[in-house]
Amino acid sequence: MAIALRLSRGGAKKRPYYRIVAADQRAPRDGKYLEQIGTYNPVLAKDDENRVKLNEDRARYWLGVGAQPSDRVARFLDAAGVLERAARNNPNKAKPGEKATERAEEKAAKAAEAEEAAKAAQEEAKAAPTEEKVIEAPAEEAPAEEAPAEAPAEEPAAEEAPVEAAAAEEAPAENTTEDKAEDKAEDKAEDKAEG
């Protein structure tokens, strides 16, 4: 029969109280035990002497018989000086799992692509204004050399006629909306007079 030194819970809901017991490993946590060797009350302050009570002689006996302490009981025994507890180190504890690592790599790849796209856009923006200036400079000189003096005089006359026609067409459009509003008001007045 394998024996364990472990905690057995008692107490009310959200008010834990533990017995430190020597029990068969196959027995339920709060079930039958061989012997109670102490108590642990986590509700008390950490510096309170009644927080952990331990019968060191019985603990040494059970350890001598081959009982294996749980991690928490081993901490209590180490604090009491009964058993030297080896320090544990799990360097992989904080490492993310496979899927989390994959997600992080995908996110980093997307961020790198976005940075490259932003840099490319900035380079294009810097390159584009210099090209436009080169194109615009000859364009400004060309119309001054090619434009004859007579052509501009004829064009404004041709442009004035369509502008006047457009203004004439717009005026009736404004009047029609005003006329419609007046007609509706007159119709309402007539309906009231008839009714």
pLDDT greater than 80 at residue 91:
yes
Please provide the average confidence, as pLDDT, over all residues in the chain: 81
Nearest to 31 by CA among 17, 19, 14: 19
What span, in angstroms and rounded, lies between the C-alpha atoms of 166 and 3? Answer: 105
- Tens-place pLDDT, residues 23-50: 999 999 999 999 999 999 999 999 999 9
What angle in degrees, to the nearest 10, is found between the helix axes of 56-65 and 71-80? 130
pLDDT grade, residue 51 (50/70/90)? very high
Cβ 31 vs Cβ 90: under 8 Å:
no
Q: What percent of the chain has pLDDT over 90?
A: 53
pLDDT greater than 80 at residue 189:
no
- Tens-place pLDDT, residues 103-157: 999 999 999 999 999 999 888 888 876 555 555 555 455 555 555 555 454 554 4
- pTM comes to 0.48
Cβ 70 vs Cβ 25: under 8 Å:
no
What span, in angstroms and rounded, lies between the C-alpha atoms of 158 and 84? Answer: 107
pLDDT of residue 143: 52
> Which two three-digit tokens encode residue 90?
């799990």
pLDDT grade, residue 19 (50/70/90)? very high
Average of per-residue pLDDT across 79-102: 88
pLDDT greater than 90 at residue 93:
no
- Class of the 3-80 domain? alpha beta
What span, in angstroms and rounded, lies between the C-alpha atoms of 108 and 121? Answer: 20
Cβ 21 vs Cβ 34: under 8 Å:
yes
pLDDT of residue 131: 53
pLDDT of residue 177: 66
